[in-house]
Amino acid sequence: MTQDTEAPRAAVIGWPVAHSLSPAIHGYWLRHYGLAGSYGKLAVPPDELPTTLANLRGLGYVGANVTIPHKTAALKAADSVTDVARRIGAVNTLYYEGERLVGDNSDAAGFIENLKRHAPSWVAESGTAAVLGAGGAARAVIVALLDAGAPDLLLLNRTHARAEDLAAAFGPKVRIGDWSRRASALRDVVLLVNTTALGMVGQPPLALELADLPATAVVNDIVYKPLETGLLKAARARGNPVVDGLGMLLYQARPGFAHWFGRLPEVTQDLRAEVLKAMA
Ligand SMILES: NC(=O)c1ccc[n+]([C@@H]2O[C@H](COP(=O)([O-])OP(=O)(O)OC[C@H]3O[C@@H](n4cnc5c(N)ncnc54)[C@H](OP(=O)(O)O)[C@@H]3O)[C@@H](O)[C@H]2O)c1
Protein backbone atom coordinates (compact mmCIF):
# COMPACT_ATOMS: atom_id res chain seq x y z
CA MET A 1 0.00 0.00 0.00
CA THR A 2 1.30 3.45 -0.88
CA GLN A 3 2.06 5.68 2.11
CA ASP A 4 0.71 9.24 2.16
CA THR A 5 4.27 10.52 2.46
CA GLU A 6 5.32 9.03 -0.87
CA ALA A 7 5.44 11.21 -3.95
CA PRO A 8 2.23 10.75 -5.96
CA ARG A 9 2.39 8.47 -8.99
CA ALA A 10 0.00 8.53 -11.94
CA ALA A 11 0.08 6.87 -15.36
CA VAL A 12 -1.69 6.49 -18.66
CA ILE A 13 -3.31 3.09 -19.11
CA GLY A 14 -3.68 1.80 -22.65
CA TRP A 15 -3.12 -1.19 -24.91
CA PRO A 16 -0.80 -0.41 -26.61
CA VAL A 17 0.36 2.66 -24.72
CA ALA A 18 3.86 3.36 -26.09
CA HIS A 19 2.59 6.09 -28.45
CA SER A 20 0.93 8.17 -25.72
CA LEU A 21 2.00 11.82 -25.38
CA SER A 22 0.57 12.12 -21.86
CA PRO A 23 3.91 11.34 -20.13
CA ALA A 24 5.53 14.20 -22.06
CA ILE A 25 2.77 16.61 -20.93
CA HIS A 26 2.69 15.63 -17.24
CA GLY A 27 6.45 15.17 -17.07
CA TYR A 28 6.90 18.73 -18.34
CA TRP A 29 4.51 20.13 -15.73
CA LEU A 30 6.09 18.16 -12.87
CA ARG A 31 9.50 19.58 -13.80
CA HIS A 32 8.19 23.07 -14.53
CA TYR A 33 6.43 23.43 -11.18
CA GLY A 34 9.15 21.55 -9.27
CA LEU A 35 6.65 19.06 -7.86
CA ALA A 36 7.48 15.66 -6.40
CA GLY A 37 5.70 12.93 -8.33
CA SER A 38 5.90 10.80 -11.44
CA TYR A 39 3.76 9.93 -14.44
CA GLY A 40 4.36 6.73 -16.40
CA LYS A 41 2.82 4.33 -18.90
CA LEU A 42 0.90 1.22 -17.93
CA ALA A 43 0.26 -1.32 -20.71
CA VAL A 44 -2.87 -3.23 -19.67
CA PRO A 45 -4.69 -5.70 -21.93
CA PRO A 46 -8.49 -5.31 -22.02
CA ASP A 47 -9.22 -8.41 -19.94
CA GLU A 48 -7.03 -7.07 -17.12
CA LEU A 49 -8.55 -3.58 -16.96
CA PRO A 50 -11.19 -4.30 -14.27
CA THR A 51 -8.70 -5.86 -11.84
CA THR A 52 -6.10 -3.16 -12.55
CA LEU A 53 -8.57 -0.38 -11.79
CA ALA A 54 -9.99 -2.20 -8.75
CA ASN A 55 -6.42 -2.33 -7.40
CA LEU A 56 -5.04 0.96 -8.76
CA ARG A 57 -4.19 2.39 -5.35
CA GLY A 58 -2.66 -0.90 -4.27
CA LEU A 59 -0.40 -0.68 -7.30
CA GLY A 60 0.82 2.66 -5.97
CA TYR A 61 -1.16 5.10 -8.11
CA VAL A 62 -3.20 8.12 -7.07
CA GLY A 63 -5.03 8.02 -10.39
CA ALA A 64 -4.59 7.60 -14.11
CA ASN A 65 -5.54 8.55 -17.61
CA VAL A 66 -7.15 5.88 -19.75
CA THR A 67 -6.77 5.75 -23.48
CA ILE A 68 -7.66 3.44 -26.36
CA PRO A 69 -9.16 0.83 -26.07
CA HIS A 70 -10.22 1.31 -22.43
CA LYS A 71 -12.25 4.53 -22.41
CA THR A 72 -15.66 2.84 -22.48
CA ALA A 73 -14.73 -0.08 -20.22
CA ALA A 74 -13.37 2.35 -17.61
CA LEU A 75 -16.87 3.82 -17.34
CA LYS A 76 -18.05 0.51 -15.90
CA ALA A 77 -14.93 -0.24 -13.89
CA ALA A 78 -14.87 3.05 -11.94
CA ASP A 79 -16.74 3.21 -8.60
CA SER A 80 -18.58 6.31 -9.78
CA VAL A 81 -18.52 8.54 -12.85
CA THR A 82 -19.00 12.26 -13.32
CA ASP A 83 -22.01 13.58 -15.16
CA VAL A 84 -19.92 14.66 -18.15
CA ALA A 85 -18.24 11.24 -18.45
CA ARG A 86 -21.65 9.57 -18.39
CA ARG A 87 -22.97 11.90 -21.11
CA ILE A 88 -19.90 11.35 -23.30
CA GLY A 89 -20.03 7.62 -22.59
CA ALA A 90 -16.32 7.35 -21.87
CA VAL A 91 -13.75 7.97 -19.14
CA ASN A 92 -10.29 9.40 -19.76
CA THR A 93 -9.30 10.50 -16.24
CA LEU A 94 -9.44 8.59 -12.94
CA TYR A 95 -8.85 9.95 -9.45
CA TYR A 96 -9.79 9.01 -5.90
CA GLU A 97 -12.36 10.65 -3.69
CA GLY A 98 -11.69 8.91 -0.40
CA GLU A 99 -11.77 5.20 -1.23
CA ARG A 100 -13.84 5.63 -4.37
CA LEU A 101 -12.28 5.67 -7.82
CA VAL A 102 -14.01 8.40 -9.84
CA GLY A 103 -14.12 8.28 -13.64
CA ASP A 104 -14.19 11.65 -15.38
CA ASN A 105 -13.84 12.85 -18.95
CA SER A 106 -11.84 16.01 -19.65
CA ASP A 107 -12.02 15.90 -23.46
CA ALA A 108 -15.04 18.22 -23.67
CA ALA A 109 -13.42 20.80 -21.39
CA GLY A 110 -10.12 20.45 -23.24
CA PHE A 111 -11.82 20.99 -26.58
CA ILE A 112 -13.75 24.08 -25.55
CA GLU A 113 -10.92 25.74 -23.60
CA ASN A 114 -8.61 25.34 -26.58
CA LEU A 115 -11.22 26.64 -29.00
CA LYS A 116 -11.99 29.70 -26.89
CA ARG A 117 -8.32 30.47 -26.38
CA HIS A 118 -7.37 30.20 -30.06
CA ALA A 119 -10.58 31.44 -31.69
CA PRO A 120 -11.74 34.33 -29.49
CA SER A 121 -13.97 35.55 -32.34
CA TRP A 122 -16.19 32.46 -32.07
CA VAL A 123 -19.38 32.91 -30.07
CA ALA A 124 -21.11 29.61 -29.33
CA GLU A 125 -24.60 31.08 -29.45
CA SER A 126 -24.06 32.78 -32.81
CA GLY A 127 -24.99 29.96 -35.17
CA THR A 128 -24.66 26.43 -36.49
CA ALA A 129 -21.60 24.33 -35.68
CA ALA A 130 -20.86 21.52 -38.15
CA VAL A 131 -19.23 18.42 -36.69
CA LEU A 132 -17.63 15.88 -39.02
CA GLY A 133 -17.57 12.39 -37.48
CA ALA A 134 -19.63 10.44 -34.98
CA GLY A 135 -17.04 8.44 -33.06
CA GLY A 136 -15.84 8.78 -29.48
CA ALA A 137 -14.22 12.18 -30.00
CA ALA A 138 -17.40 13.54 -31.63
CA ARG A 139 -19.36 12.72 -28.47
CA ALA A 140 -17.02 14.88 -26.37
CA VAL A 141 -17.14 17.71 -28.91
CA ILE A 142 -20.96 17.62 -29.04
CA VAL A 143 -21.25 17.73 -25.25
CA ALA A 144 -18.79 20.63 -25.16
CA LEU A 145 -20.63 22.62 -27.86
CA LEU A 146 -24.07 22.05 -26.34
CA ASP A 147 -22.84 23.05 -22.88
CA ALA A 148 -21.20 26.15 -24.36
CA GLY A 149 -24.57 27.22 -25.77
CA ALA A 150 -24.43 26.22 -29.44
CA PRO A 151 -28.03 26.48 -30.70
CA ASP A 152 -27.70 24.05 -33.61
CA LEU A 153 -25.28 21.21 -34.38
CA LEU A 154 -25.04 19.71 -37.84
CA LEU A 155 -23.60 16.21 -37.69
CA LEU A 156 -22.00 14.79 -40.83
CA ASN A 157 -20.75 11.22 -40.74
CA ARG A 158 -20.01 8.56 -43.36
CA THR A 159 -22.08 5.96 -41.50
CA HIS A 160 -25.53 7.46 -41.14
CA ALA A 161 -26.68 5.07 -38.40
CA ARG A 162 -23.87 6.21 -36.12
CA ALA A 163 -24.89 9.83 -36.57
CA GLU A 164 -28.49 8.86 -35.80
CA ASP A 165 -27.40 7.26 -32.54
CA LEU A 166 -25.73 10.49 -31.47
CA ALA A 167 -28.64 12.68 -32.53
CA ALA A 168 -30.98 10.43 -30.54
CA ALA A 169 -28.68 10.60 -27.51
CA PHE A 170 -28.19 14.37 -27.54
CA GLY A 171 -31.59 15.68 -28.54
CA PRO A 172 -33.17 18.13 -30.97
CA LYS A 173 -30.28 20.59 -31.22
CA VAL A 174 -28.30 17.90 -33.05
CA ARG A 175 -29.45 17.30 -36.62
CA ILE A 176 -27.96 15.05 -39.27
CA GLY A 177 -26.69 16.07 -42.66
CA ASP A 178 -25.82 13.97 -45.66
CA TRP A 179 -22.15 12.97 -45.77
CA SER A 180 -22.17 12.85 -49.55
CA ARG A 181 -23.35 16.49 -49.64
CA ARG A 182 -21.14 17.72 -46.82
CA ALA A 183 -19.56 20.56 -48.82
CA SER A 184 -22.83 22.38 -49.55
CA ALA A 185 -24.01 21.79 -45.97
CA LEU A 186 -21.37 24.26 -44.76
CA ARG A 187 -23.10 27.32 -46.22
CA ASP A 188 -24.28 28.91 -42.97
CA VAL A 189 -21.99 27.47 -40.33
CA VAL A 190 -19.96 29.57 -37.88
CA LEU A 191 -17.76 26.67 -36.80
CA LEU A 192 -16.49 23.53 -38.54
CA VAL A 193 -14.90 20.77 -36.45
CA ASN A 194 -13.29 17.67 -37.88
CA THR A 195 -13.48 14.77 -35.43
CA THR A 196 -13.01 12.03 -38.02
CA ALA A 197 -9.68 10.25 -38.30
CA LEU A 198 -9.39 11.54 -41.88
CA GLY A 199 -6.30 13.64 -42.49
CA MET A 200 -4.34 11.93 -39.75
CA VAL A 201 -0.97 10.38 -40.60
CA GLY A 202 -1.67 6.92 -42.03
CA GLN A 203 -5.32 7.72 -42.85
CA PRO A 204 -6.86 8.92 -46.11
CA PRO A 205 -7.13 12.69 -46.57
CA LEU A 206 -10.39 14.45 -45.73
CA ALA A 207 -11.96 15.28 -49.07
CA LEU A 208 -13.92 18.45 -48.43
CA GLU A 209 -14.52 21.39 -50.76
CA LEU A 210 -14.62 24.61 -48.70
CA ALA A 211 -16.04 26.97 -51.36
CA ASP A 212 -19.39 27.30 -49.54
CA LEU A 213 -17.92 27.82 -46.09
CA PRO A 214 -18.32 31.44 -44.87
CA ALA A 215 -14.94 33.19 -44.70
CA THR A 216 -15.48 34.04 -41.04
CA ALA A 217 -16.22 30.45 -39.94
CA VAL A 218 -13.70 29.02 -37.49
CA VAL A 219 -12.18 25.69 -38.57
CA ASN A 220 -10.92 23.35 -35.85
CA ASP A 221 -9.33 20.00 -36.72
CA ILE A 222 -8.88 17.85 -33.62
CA VAL A 223 -6.47 15.61 -35.53
CA TYR A 224 -3.02 16.77 -34.36
CA LYS A 225 -0.72 14.49 -36.32
CA PRO A 226 0.19 16.29 -38.54
CA LEU A 227 -0.30 19.53 -36.67
CA GLU A 228 -1.34 21.36 -39.85
CA THR A 229 -3.77 18.96 -41.52
CA GLY A 230 -4.91 19.32 -45.12
CA LEU A 231 -8.19 20.80 -43.82
CA LEU A 232 -6.40 23.47 -41.77
CA LYS A 233 -4.06 24.27 -44.64
CA ALA A 234 -6.96 24.76 -47.06
CA ALA A 235 -8.98 26.78 -44.53
CA ARG A 236 -6.01 29.00 -43.66
CA ALA A 237 -5.30 29.62 -47.36
CA ARG A 238 -8.79 31.06 -47.87
CA GLY A 239 -8.60 33.21 -44.74
CA ASN A 240 -10.67 31.26 -42.23
CA PRO A 241 -9.52 31.40 -38.59
CA VAL A 242 -8.04 27.96 -37.78
CA VAL A 243 -7.43 26.00 -34.58
CA ASP A 244 -5.25 22.90 -34.46
CA GLY A 245 -5.88 19.75 -32.40
CA LEU A 246 -2.81 19.73 -30.19
CA GLY A 247 -4.28 22.32 -27.84
CA MET A 248 -7.24 20.04 -27.03
CA LEU A 249 -4.80 17.33 -26.00
CA LEU A 250 -2.89 19.75 -23.79
CA TYR A 251 -5.95 21.33 -22.16
CA GLN A 252 -7.65 18.00 -21.45
CA ALA A 253 -4.65 17.01 -19.33
CA ARG A 254 -5.07 19.85 -16.80
CA PRO A 255 -7.82 18.48 -14.48
CA GLY A 256 -6.07 15.12 -14.01
CA PHE A 257 -2.81 16.82 -13.11
CA ALA A 258 -4.64 19.02 -10.59
CA HIS A 259 -6.28 16.00 -8.94
CA TRP A 260 -3.08 13.95 -8.71
CA PHE A 261 -0.41 16.54 -8.04
CA GLY A 262 -2.36 19.36 -6.40
CA ARG A 263 -1.84 22.20 -8.86
CA LEU A 264 -3.87 23.33 -11.88
CA PRO A 265 -1.18 23.71 -14.56
CA GLU A 266 -1.06 26.15 -17.46
CA VAL A 267 -0.89 25.39 -21.17
CA THR A 268 2.01 27.43 -22.56
CA GLN A 269 4.10 27.73 -25.72
CA ASP A 270 6.93 25.95 -23.88
CA LEU A 271 4.68 22.97 -23.18
CA ARG A 272 3.58 22.87 -26.82
CA ALA A 273 7.20 22.92 -27.95
CA GLU A 274 8.06 20.07 -25.56
CA VAL A 275 5.17 17.92 -26.78
CA LEU A 276 5.93 18.69 -30.44
CA LYS A 277 9.46 17.43 -29.77
CA ALA A 278 8.03 14.20 -28.32
CA MET A 279 5.80 13.84 -31.43
CA ALA A 280 8.69 14.20 -33.88
N1 LIG B 1 -6.94 16.45 -30.10
C2 LIG B 1 -7.34 15.57 -29.20
O3 LIG B 1 -7.13 15.73 -27.99
C4 LIG B 1 -8.08 14.34 -29.65
C5 LIG B 1 -8.86 13.62 -28.74
C6 LIG B 1 -9.55 12.49 -29.20
C7 LIG B 1 -9.44 12.11 -30.53
N8 LIG B 1 -8.66 12.83 -31.37
C9 LIG B 1 -8.54 12.44 -32.80
O10 LIG B 1 -9.84 12.36 -33.34
C11 LIG B 1 -9.89 11.37 -34.36
C12 LIG B 1 -11.09 10.46 -34.13
O13 LIG B 1 -10.97 9.78 -32.91
P14 LIG B 1 -12.17 8.87 -32.33
O15 LIG B 1 -11.70 8.35 -31.03
O16 LIG B 1 -13.47 9.57 -32.41
O17 LIG B 1 -12.19 7.67 -33.39
P18 LIG B 1 -13.42 6.69 -33.74
O19 LIG B 1 -14.32 6.56 -32.56
O20 LIG B 1 -12.79 5.48 -34.31
O21 LIG B 1 -14.24 7.46 -34.90
C22 LIG B 1 -13.65 7.64 -36.15
C23 LIG B 1 -14.49 8.59 -36.99
O24 LIG B 1 -13.79 8.80 -38.24
C25 LIG B 1 -14.66 8.42 -39.31
N26 LIG B 1 -13.90 7.80 -40.38
C27 LIG B 1 -12.85 6.97 -40.27
N28 LIG B 1 -12.40 6.60 -41.51
C29 LIG B 1 -13.20 7.23 -42.40
C30 LIG B 1 -13.26 7.26 -43.82
N31 LIG B 1 -12.38 6.56 -44.56
N32 LIG B 1 -14.20 8.03 -44.42
C33 LIG B 1 -15.10 8.73 -43.67
N34 LIG B 1 -15.09 8.74 -42.33
C35 LIG B 1 -14.15 7.99 -41.69
C36 LIG B 1 -15.63 7.44 -38.71
O37 LIG B 1 -16.79 7.36 -39.49
P38 LIG B 1 -17.72 6.04 -39.49
O39 LIG B 1 -18.62 6.17 -38.31
O40 LIG B 1 -18.42 6.10 -40.79
O41 LIG B 1 -16.78 4.86 -39.38
C42 LIG B 1 -15.88 8.06 -37.33
O43 LIG B 1 -16.79 9.12 -37.41
C44 LIG B 1 -8.53 10.66 -34.31
O45 LIG B 1 -7.72 11.17 -35.32
C46 LIG B 1 -7.97 11.03 -32.96
O47 LIG B 1 -6.56 11.08 -32.96
C48 LIG B 1 -7.99 13.95 -30.97
88-127 pLDDT, tens digit per residue, is: 999 999 999 999 999 999 999 999 999 999 999 999 999 9
- Tell whether ligand 1 has an atom less than 6 A from the beta carbon of residue 225: no
In this prediction, residues 19-38 reach a mean pLDDT of 98
Atom 41, ligand 1: which residue's CA is nearest? Answer: 159
Q: Looking at residue 6, what is its pLDDT?
A: 85
Q: Looking at residue 32, what is its pLDDT?
A: 98
Using the atom order of ligand 1, give the atom closest to the CA of residue 158: 40
Check whether 171 has a pLDDT greater than 70.
yes
The predicted-structure confidence for 227-243, as pLDDT tens digits, reads as follows 999 999 999 999 999 99
Nearest Cα to Cα of residue 214 among 127, 145, 131: 127
| Residue 198 Cα to ligand 1 middle (Å) | 7
Strands 93-97 and 128-132, bridge-based pairing: unpaired
In this prediction, residues 34-41 reach a mean pLDDT of 98
* DSSP 8-state assignment for residue 223: -
**What is d(CA 167, CA 172) in angstroms, rounded to the nearest whole number?**
7
**What is d(CA 259, CA 263) in angstroms, rounded to the nearest whole number?**
8
Handedness of CA 271, 275, 278, 280 (dihedral sign): negative
Q: Looking at residue 2, what is its pLDDT?
A: 45
CA distances from 168 to 174, 176, 181, 251 (A): 8, 10, 21, 29
Nearest Cα to Cα of residue 260 among 21, 24, 29: 29
What are the strands, taking DSSP E only, across the chain? 9-14, 38-43, 63-66, 80-81, 93-97, 100-104, 128-132, 153-156, 174-176, 189-194, 218-221, 242-243
The predicted-structure confidence for 242-261, as pLDDT tens digits, reads as follows 999 999 999 999 999 999 99
Annotation says 233 is catalytic: no
- Tell whether ligand 1 has an atom less than 6 A from the beta carbon of residue 220: no
pLDDT band at 5 (very low <50, low <70, confident <90, very high): low
Q: Which helix (H) or strand (E) holds 127?
A: none
- Tell whether ligand 1 has an atom less than 6 A from the beta carbon of residue 118: no
- Distance in Å from the first CA to the final CA of the chain: 38
- Tell whether ligand 1 has an atom less than 6 A from the beta carbon of residue 222: yes
